[in-house]
Amino acid sequence: MVTRRTFLARLGSGVAIVGFSSATGMWVSTAEADAATPFDRLPRLDGSLHFDVDTRMADSVDLGRVAKQLPLAVLKPGSVADIQKMVRFCGQHGIKVAMRGQGHSTQGQGLTSGLLIESRSLATIHSVGPQGADVDCGVLWREIVRAGLPQGLTVPLTTTYVGLSVGGTLSMGGFGARNDTGVQVDTVSKLQVVTGTGELVECSATQHRDLFEAALAGLGQCGLIVRATVRTVRAHQHARIYQFFYRDNTQFFADLRLLVDRGELDGVYNLFTLTNGTIPYQLNAMTFYDDGAQPDDAHLLRGISQPLSKATVVNCTYQEWAERYDPIIQRWRDTDDWDNLIKPWQDVIMPDSTVERYVGEVMPTMTPEDFGATGVGFVFRIRRSDLTRPFFRVPAPDGSDWVYLFDILTSSAKPGPDPAFARRMLDRNRRLFDRARELGGVRYPIGSLEFDRQDWQRHYGPMWPELVRRKRRYDPHNILTPGPGIFCPREM
Ligand SMILES: Cc1cc2nc3c(=O)[nH]c(=O)nc-3n(C[C@H](O)[C@H](O)[C@H](O)COP(=O)(O)OP(=O)(O)OC[C@H]3O[C@@H](n4cnc5c(N)ncnc54)[C@H](O)[C@@H]3O)c2cc1C
């Protein structure tokens, strides 16, 4: 008699697996293949399927270290066809499937007890040119930036940290420092998607539009993005960043609004960091420029509440600007064991009419514990009218063209499990989210928030019936991306 436990232990000892039995709900090894129990053989693959405990354990957690879910197997695909075959196989056996980019979401969004597909083994940049960057889902944004620069090209919007996967951020939305470009999903012109039935579909605004829309910021519910074409724009040679510090919420928002409304800078956002026990606002205003065309600092910053002499000014190349947070993350990895810190992140998108009040209420309640060893916070301001993807949810219209992402990216003070800290922070996040929702805010779903089906229904609002329709059409077995808990109870 093989129990699930002894069976899983044997998987760790390198037993060759040849198939799966729906009757037992377990993999079938070579030795068992001749037994009477019927099973289905695994398809032939270009890449590899891993059943060993070490590989599965490595993919059982994400960056948040809040959720844990051991996958039944890990696929390192050698081709898109591998993904199609395994999704079909899983559909036949009711096995859940999730794609993992860099695993940098923070509450199990990309975890599963079924088949975990690592997108990183599909990381080819097929082309970069004026017509766009055509890339596999496992490519990192940093790699696209580096591939485009020799031609003087870049993507319209990069995330703050560019070590994130294309498939991962396109499934979420993808905020960046720019105020006039929407989010990353608005910069995509074409996708290749594997649906929940294993079909490979090329889609765009004019071809299979319903799948294109459902995949972009679609939290992996209707399909797995395997390839994307992202628009490219001219890359300037240099960037200049002006940093000002604020203690006053009203003054900070007045200056942020003034600078962004004028539209002369290339990006303005806020960074909060814990500094000597306090958490000041750090306004970052940025302009790109080329050789021989120095920015006019005084003109760009005219009218704000602080003199130019108060600014910290940083000049760097475009690449240094795009990668500006990478060395910090690397240092945290090297010195703070960053990957093993608990990161219960809180992220909401607020309407213009209440953002100032909300941030002004929340920030004074923040303590050193809310930021921890490496915690930071952000405020990004973007235009509603640049947002084109229906499943990227923003607050209901309030008469203003602006919405704001407000992040509190908490980390624990030290690495290792601390269930009491995680619980406190999940409760805090729910409290902060409930207040945000009262004020018209919605969730940006990268963070750590306990959300039930009713919450998701409210999140999607008028788009909920449409999401349900597309889910039934493209993932009829309901196997894709269980982590967020939208169409099945969360497993963890
Ligand atoms: C240091 C840091 C900085 C960040 N900065 C920003 C920022 O500036 N702007 C911003 O918007 N976000 C930012 N994020 C959040 C980030 O967008 C999300 O954490 C995102 O999930 C990270 O991408 P990933 O490759 O790690 O995706 P994962 O966490 O691996 O995946 C995210 C979700 O998408 C699904 N998924 C992954 N790949 C695919 C695919 N190919 N097809 C379908 N579904 C897929 C997963 O199953 C999961 O549900 C940041 C995160 C970190 C850690």
Count of alpha carbons within 13 angstroms of residue 133, beta-carbon side: 32
pLDDT tens for each residue of 468-486: 999 999 999 999 999 999 9
Contact 58, 69 (CB under 8 A): no
What are the strands of the beta sheet with 97-100, ordered from one edge? Answer: 48-50, 73-76, 115-118, 97-100
Q: Looking at ligand 1, which atom is closest to the CA of residue 481?
A: 47
As a whole number, mean pLDDT of residues 178-194 equals 98
Distance separating alpha carbons of residues 157 and 142, to the nearest angstrom: 12
360: CA distance to ligand 1 center in Å? 28
If asked whether residues 75 and 160 sit together in one domain, one would say no
Residue type, 339: D
Distance separating alpha carbons of residues 488 and 492, to the nearest angstrom: 12
Q: What is the pLDDT of residue 490?
A: 74
Contact 72, 90 (CB under 8 A): no
HEC assignment per residue over 238-304: EEEEEEEEECCHHHHHHHHHHHHHHCCCCEEEEEEECECCECCEEEEEEEEECCCCCCCHHHHCCCC
Q: What is the CATH number of the domain that holds 438?
A: 3.40.462.10
**Domain membership flag for residue 452:** no
The residue among 120, 142, 164 that closes a domain is 120
pLDDT tens for each residue of 66-115: 999 999 999 999 999 999 999 999 999 999 999 999 999 999 999 999 99
Residue 34 pLDDT grade (very low, low, confident, very high; cuts 50, 70, 90):
confident
If asked whether residues 24 and 80 sit together in one domain, one would say yes
pLDDT tens for each residue of 121-163: 999 999 999 999 999 999 999 999 999 999 999 999 999 999 9
If asked whether residues 351 and 203 sit together in one domain, one would say no
Residues with beta carbon inside 6 Å of ligand 1? 62-63, 98-105, 109-110, 119, 137, 159-161, 164-165, 167-169, 171-176, 219-220, 224-225, 329, 446, 481, 483
Domain containing 69: what range? 4-120
Residue at token pair 């294993």 = 198
If asked whether residues 432 and 301 sit together in one domain, one would say yes
Q: What is the CATH number of the domain that holds 12?
A: 3.30.43.10
Q: What is the pLDDT of residue 11?
A: 53
Q: Looking at ligand 1, which atom is closest to the CA of residue 161?
A: 3
171: CA distance to ligand 1 center in Å? 7
CA torsion sign, 309 to 310 to 314 to 318? negative
Q: What is the b/e burial string over 163-179, where b = at least 16 CB atoms within 10 angstroms of the residue's CB?
A: bbbbbbbbbbbbbbbbb
Q: What is the mean pLDDT of the chain?
A: 95
Q: What is the pLDDT of residue 202?
A: 98
Distance separating alpha carbons of residues 481 and 217, to the nearest angstrom: 13
If asked whether residues 279 and 397 sit together in one domain, one would say yes
pLDDT tens for each residue of 288-344: 999 999 999 999 999 999 999 999 999 999 999 999 999 999 999 999 999 999 999
If asked whether residues 148 and 163 sit together in one domain, one would say yes
Contact 414, 422 (CB under 8 A): no
DSSP calls for 101-152? SS---SSSTT--SSEEEEGGG---EEEEETTEEEEETT-BHHHHHHHHGGGT
Contact 172, 215 (CB under 8 A): no
Residue 492 pLDDT grade (very low, low, confident, very high; cuts 50, 70, 90):
low
Q: What is the pLDDT of residue 1?
A: 41
Q: Looking at ligand 1, which atom is closest to the CA of residue 215?
A: 43
Count of structural domains within the chain: 3
